Amino acid sequence: MKFTAWLGTALAVTLTLHTGLSEAFDLGSAIDAASKGVKAATLSDAEVADVARQVSASEDKRNKVAPAGSPYAVRLGKVVAGLQNEDGLKLNFKVYLTPDVNAFAMADGTVRVYSGLMDKMSDDELRFVIGHEIAHVKLGHSKKALQTAYATSAARDAMAASGNTAAVVISQSALGGLAEKLIHAQFSQSQESDADAYSVRFMQKHNYNLTAAASALRKLQDWGGGENSMFSSHPAPGDRASKVETQLKG
């Protein structure tokens, strides 16, 4: 018997024995939440990409996207020329018009660059950052972040099943919660270092200016970053710059 089916039977028996609880407890939602909790650890790549598509569509509606022909869109188009497919990932690029210094990539090939980041970086520095964000997808870091976010969503759904009004509101905004956790995911130091190394190889592959890899990280160190910055979750950029410089010398 599959776990979810067994769980449904067990909960049904429990609620039959405790009829007072059954009036306030949404069995269907509880089973669904438990299923999501199990599913979090077994998400397929296709399912991760599907969630990414939903999140990116939601974010594109929530943010102001630079229209085609605008200076930011034109510049990004030049920066990513030839990058429509990278390492087996079909990419789509847009600029969010916001002063936040940020960028992110998702498993469906979404790459979003914030105008605040473009204002501060050269073209090749932007390419390093884009390669770094693609690396988090290709190296499986984003999938792990989604699994964690999905499990948290399951917990919230379980709370909603209990009839708690505040929890119901949280559950209904699950998509926004997933977006927040994916876009501002906190990766480990080793994951960041691996993403940096991947991006250096990405730069080498496309014959970009390799010195921009270290200079982009040095800028991160100088700016520090804020609450809505990609750098707030990217630890010790100065140390990472030194590692990148060592990699380039090797």
Among 82-91, 169-178, 191-200, the least confident range: 169-178
List the one residue out of 82, 76, 127, 126 whose CA is nearest residue 97.
76
Identify residue 128 by its one-letter amino acid code: F
User: Confidence band (pLDDT; 50, 70, 90) for 173?
Assistant: low
Q: What percent of the chain has pLDDT over 70?
A: 68
* Phi then psi dihedrals of residue 114, to 5 deg: -85, 140
pLDDT for residue 232 is more than 60: no
Summarize the confidence of residues 201-211 as an average pLDDT. Answer: 96
To the query of whether residue 133 is one of the catalytic residues in this protein, the response is: yes
- 167 has pLDDT over 70: no
Distance between CA 143 and CA 59 in Å, rounded?
18
Position 35 pLDDT exceeds 80: no
Neighbours of 138 (CB within 10 A): 18
Q: Exposure of 157 by Cβ count < 10 A (0-12 exposed, 13-18 middle, 19+ buried)? A: buried
Band (pLDDT 50/70/90 cuts) for residue 164 is low
Structure-token pair, residue 126: 């932007």
Residue 5 has pLDDT above 70, yes or no: no
Q: Name the average pLDDT for the chain.
A: 77
Residues 6+ apart with CB under 8 A from 205: none
- Supply the DSSP symbol for 68: T
Catalytic option among 59, 86, 125, 133: 133
SS3 103: strand
What was the pLDDT predicted at 39? 63
CA 190-195-196 angle, 5° bins: 95
Q: What is the CA radius of gyration of the chain?
A: 21
Query: 239: buried, middle or exposed (CB in 10 Å: 19+, 13-18, 0-12)?
Result: middle
**Out of 44-58, 61-75, 86-100, 135-149, least confident range:** 44-58
| 59-105 per-position pLDDT tens digit | 999 999 999 999 999 999 999 999 999 999 999 999 999 999 999 99
pLDDT at 96: 98
Check residues 25 and 35 and name the one with the higher pLDDT: 35
Question: Pick the residue with more confidence: 163 or 17?
Answer: 163
Lowest pLDDT segment from 12-16, 43-47, 245-249? 12-16
Comparing C-alpha atoms, which of 166, 146, 167 is closest to residue 156? 167
Confidence of residue 36 (pLDDT cuts 50, 70, 90): low
Contact 84, 95 (CB under 8 A): no
Position 224 confidence tier, pLDDT thresholds 50, 70, 90: low
Neighbours of 190 (CB within 10 A): 9
Confidence of residue 14 (pLDDT cuts 50, 70, 90): very low
What pLDDT, on the 0 to 100 scale, is given for residue 124? 98
**Gap between the Cα atoms of 89 and 109, Å rounded:** 6
Q: Which of 159, 173, 154 is nearest to 24 (CA)?
A: 159
Select the more confidently predicted residue: 176 or 96. 96
Q: Which pTM value belongs to this model?
A: 0.76
H-type helices in the chain, by residue range? 3-17, 19-22, 27-39, 45-62, 71-79, 115-120, 123-138, 141-161, 165-172, 174-183, 189-205, 211-223, 237-249
